[in-house]
Structure 1
Amino acid sequence: MIEVNELTKRYGGTTAVKDLSFTVRPGRVTGFLGPNGAGKSTTLRLLIGLNRPTGGTATIDGRPFRDLPRGLRHVGALLDAHDIHGGRTARAHLSALARSNGLPGSRVDHVLDEVGLAAAARRRIGGFSLGMKQRLGIATALLGDPPVLLFDEPINGLDPEGVLWVRGLFRRLAAEGRTVFVSSHLMSEMENTADDLVVIGRGQLIAAESVTEFAARGTRSNVTVRTPDPAALTDLLTAEGADVTTRPPAGDLLVVTGLGATRIGEVAHQHRIRINELTTGSASLEEAFMELTADSVEYGTGDPR
């Protein structure tokens, strides 16, 4: 289990993390979300002892990472797939880590096979693609068979098969009772993979709850409308202040936000436009995230800085 309590980190006059508290429990995949500059990477670095906190605590199963002997047996982490010696082979890299953590050499072959790099074990890492480096980073995290795993943007550079593999891997690790903490900007992946979310902005906690609960906090619900006259209805609903998008391939399906189903039905009836389907839905995870973190975005689109 991961426990963060009143965690604060300052760099000179800049506060990267401020009074941050949350818990990541075993047996679940927990997504770690926030806009750029929110303090996610700093928090992960504080968790594994790469930085020291200005205040508060960050512990793994009740202890700071620096107090855990042979750390890879307790925590596996992928923070930066590029932060690795390019002149070494994948096998040499993992073998050195295994020896320094008192792990059997058989673990090297096991994790290389698990991440799909067995055939590339003797290739130099400098020639690896980003996707291969991500797989090697995941292998490194799994090397000590740890109960706690941290991943920072693990899907970057992976092809569709790799994304599906990682999604299944995280679910399996959680099903084994491990604590899986994943930082990502990909809302679709969090929606498909995570059970819980920790969301921060400007170094402070915004939410710590299930994916379903967080998505339900978004106020911009949508209404799906199917009509044989989508162009005319779009013009009418836009005039009412709604946002309307057309969903392919048929083009007769509209997704409307900013206007309720009752009003949509009234407008269609007044103008004799037939409606074949009218369904109210909740805000997506992405919509809820954009809405609830709007005040925490440091560099938004069009920002002159």
Structure 2
Amino acid sequence: MIEATELTKRYGKTTAVDRLSFTVRPGVVTGFLGPNGAGKTTTLRMVLGLNQPTGGTVTVDGQPFGDRPRGLQHLGALLDAHDVHGGRTARAHLTALAVGNGLPRRRVAEVLAEVGMADAAGRRIEGFSLGMKQRLGIAAALLGDPPVLLFDEPLNGLDPEGVRWVRSLFKQLASEGRTVLVSSHLMREMEQTAEELIVVGRGRLIAAESLRDFAGRSTQRRVSVRTPDADVLPRLLADEGAAVRAELDGSYTVTGLPADRIGELAFAHGVRLHELSPHSASLEEAFMELTADSVEYAGAAR
């Protein structure tokens, strides 16, 4: 478990993380989301003891991670896939980590096989693609078989097969009772991977809840409607203040009215409905709406 309490980090007059409190529970994949400049990487570095908080605390299983010897047995992390010695082979890189953390050397071959890089064990890292470096970074995180795992943008550079593999891996790790925290900008992947979310903006907590609850907070709910009485229903809905958009497949997308009200209007006016399907906002839609005031750099519309 990862627990942050009033976690704060200032750089001079700039507050990167502002009294952030959250809990990352074991047994589920937790997504860590926020716009650029939201303080995500700074927060992750404080979890790992690489940056010291200005105020507040953050612990891993009840103890600051920096106080733990042989840290890979307690927490595995991937922060920057490029942060490796390019002149080393994959095997040599992982062997150095294993020796430094009191781990058996056999773990090197085991994790290389687990991430699909057994055949690349003797190759120098400088010749690796970004996707291969990501796999190597994940192998390093798994090396100590830790109960807590932390990944920062682990999907960058991975091909579709690699993305699918990582998604499955994270779910498997969580199902084993581990704590899995994943920071990513890829909303559609988080929608398929994470069960819980921690969302931050300008260093402050915006939400700490299930993905379903977060998406449900969006006002961008829509309803798909299909009717043979196309000359009647759109006018009725517009008179009620709804926005109605005709789709190419003959259906209508309605926003501004809930599905039950649409059904009541149709019944009251004798309008036949062949489809009435409410849709929650996607994670991306909810994220864009609920973090709009926390975006540090926004381009102008053209």
Q: TM above 0.5, one fold? A: yes
Whichever residue aligns with residue 244 of structure 1, its letter is R
Whichever residue aligns with residue 30 of structure 2, its letter is T
Whichever residue aligns with residue 118 of structure 2, its letter is A
Residue deviations 1:56-79 (CA, integer Å, cap 9, x gap): 111111111110010111110001
Are residues 202 and 121 of structure 1, via their aligned partners in 2, closer, same or farther at CA, if it must alter by over 3 Å? same
State the TM-score, normalized to the length of structure 1. 0.89
Aligned partners of 1:108, 1:245: CA distance in 2, in Å? 57
- Quick check: 275-284 or 109-118, which moved more? 275-284
Aligned to 2:212: 212
**Structure 2 residue 8 is matched with structure 1 residue 8:** yes
Structure 2: 5+ residue stretches without partners: none
Secondary structure of the residue that 2:162 maps to in structure 1? Answer: helix
Aligned partners of 2:119, 2:230: CA distance in 1, in Å? 53
**Are the counterparts in 2 of residues 90 and 122 from structure 1 also a CA contact under 8 Å?**
yes
User: 1:284, CA displacement in angstroms?
Assistant: 2.1
Residue in structure 1 matching 2:274, options 252, 276, 282? 276
Aligned to 2:146: 146
User: 1:276, CA displacement in angstroms?
Assistant: 3.1
Aligned to 1:242: 243
Are residues 266 and 179 of structure 1, via their aligned partners in 2, closer, same or farther at CA, if it must alter by over 3 Å? same
Aligned partners of 1:9, 1:243: CA distance in 2, in Å? 47
- Between the two proteins, what is the percent identity of the paired residues? 68
Aligned partners of 2:200, 2:74: CA distance in 1, in Å? 25
Secondary structure of the residue that 2:171 maps to in structure 1? Answer: helix
Aligned partners of 1:199, 1:214: CA distance in 2, in Å? 9
Aligned partners of 2:105, 2:61: CA distance in 1, in Å? 27
Aligned length: 300
Whichever residue aligns with residue 245 of structure 2, its letter is V
Aligned partners of 1:49, 1:297: CA distance in 2, in Å? 27
**Structure-to-structure mapping, 1:198-209, within 5 angstroms:** 198-209=198-209
Are residues 114 and 214 of structure 1, via their aligned partners in 2, closer, same or farther at CA, if it must alter by over 3 Å? same
Secondary structure of the residue that 2:289 maps to in structure 1? Answer: helix
Residue deviations 1:197-224 (CA, integer Å, cap 9, x gap): 1111110111111111111111221111
**Are the counterparts in 2 of residues 230 and 254 from structure 1 also a CA contact under 8 Å?**
no
Are residues 110 and 258 of structure 1, via their aligned partners in 2, closer, same or farther at CA, if it must alter by over 3 Å? same
Are residues 200 and 69 of structure 1, via their aligned partners in 2, closer, same or farther at CA, if it must alter by over 3 Å? same
Aligned to 2:54: 54
Aligned partners of 1:79, 1:215: CA distance in 2, in Å? 27
**Are the counterparts in 2 of residues 228 and 252 from structure 1 also a CA contact under 8 Å?**
no
Residue in structure 1 matching 2:250, options 249, 252, 266? 252
**RMSD of Structure 2 on Structure 1 (CA):** 2.7
Aligned to 1:119: 119
Aligned partners of 1:234, 1:179: CA distance in 2, in Å? 49
State the TM-score, normalized to the length of structure 2. 0.90
